[in-house]
Amino acid sequence: MSYESAAYSMWKYQRHFRAAAKYFAERVFKTLDQLFDPQLFLVGILADHNAERLPAYVEPEKDFWIDSERFNGVLALAQSLIPAYPEAGKLQSHSLAQQRQDKAVFYRSIRDAVKKTIESESAASSSLRYYVSLPTRLKGYLVCTVLALQDNVIGAYYELKRSVVTNIATPRSAVSLTNLHLVIEVHRLVPLNPAALIQLTICQSADPSAVDPKRDTS
């Protein structure tokens, strides 16, 4: 079966989405500092068991420094991380609130497991710092966007010692603030039809589901 088939991809427009998100990351971070050369890729973890689909998927999938198979153990690793989260042992009085908390904890564990897997890979560049988004559920996959930035450039910017001030989460540096801006911008839902995807210079979206006209957020 060809890797171009549906069984060997997450969703139809994943390549277009990655290209658009990478373009936006380059535009945002080079505005801050021309020395930045953002790298961006996607990691999808299969949440809905299907023997005909890959348990994990990396985009780009060909000739990339880390293979999809390296993420096959993410679900198991994520489950092992959950007990260490302070909120994992808290019970909510309302069932809906409990469901939301459990989902948030689970998504956080997927993000952290993906990040740990990347950082444990021997081929991972020690000169890059990796940022992993919380996953978006799409076509049966939990899809994380991974951004890598040059560590020496990040180090050139002053950074606060604390990321929480008076119980409010605060960006610790200009880089963190720019990263936050990127996350906000790339999660905007901008309605795009497939033909518009070739016009990457006008694409402002980075919610993967926004790039697929048949959105699946189940």
For 23, phi then psi, to 5°, come to -60, -45
User: Above 90 in pLDDT, residue 59?
Assistant: yes
User: Above 70 in pLDDT, residue 213?
Assistant: no
CA distances from 179 to 26, 44, 133, 140 (A): 11, 21, 11, 27
Q: How far is CA 137 from the centre of its chain?
A: 11
User: Above 50 in pLDDT, residue 79?
Assistant: yes
DSSP element (H, E) containing 145: strand 141-150
CA distances from 187 to 128, 140, 207, 211 (A): 24, 19, 4, 11
Q: What is the pLDDT of residues 146-191, one digit of tens each?
A: 999 999 998 887 766 655 544 455 555 666 656 655 654 554 433 3
Mean pLDDT of 70-91: 93
Q: What is the distance between the alpha carbons of residues 207 and 192, in angstroms, rounded to a whole number?
A: 12
Joined tokens for residue 173:
């540096």
User: Above 90 in pLDDT, residue 113?
Assistant: yes
Percent of the chain at pLDDT exceeding 90: 39
211 torsion bin: left (phi>0), alpha (psi -120 to 50), beta (else): alpha
Residue pair 29/178 in contact (Cβ under 8 Å)? The answer is: yes
Burial class (CB in 10 A: 0-12, 13-18, 19+), 78: buried
CA distances from 107 to 22, 45, 87, 103, 132 (A): 23, 11, 13, 6, 11
Q: What is the pLDDT of residues 34-47, one digit of tens each?
A: 999 999 999 999 99
pTM: 0.77
Asked which of 74-83, 107-116, 185-194 is least confident by mean pLDDT, the reply is: 185-194
- What pLDDT sits at residue 157? 77
Mean pLDDT of 92-104: 91
Q: Give the pairing of strands 128-132 and 136-138.
A: unpaired
Residue pair 209/138 in contact (Cβ under 8 Å)? The answer is: yes
Percent of the chain at pLDDT exceeding 70: 69
Residue pair 134/105 in contact (Cβ under 8 Å)? The answer is: no
Q: What is the distance between the alpha carbons of residues 111 and 43, in angstroms, rounded to a whole number?
A: 10
- What pLDDT sits at residue 16? 86
User: Above 60 in pLDDT, residue 201?
Assistant: no
Q: What is the pLDDT of residues 129-147, one digit of tens each?
A: 999 988 988 889 999 999 9
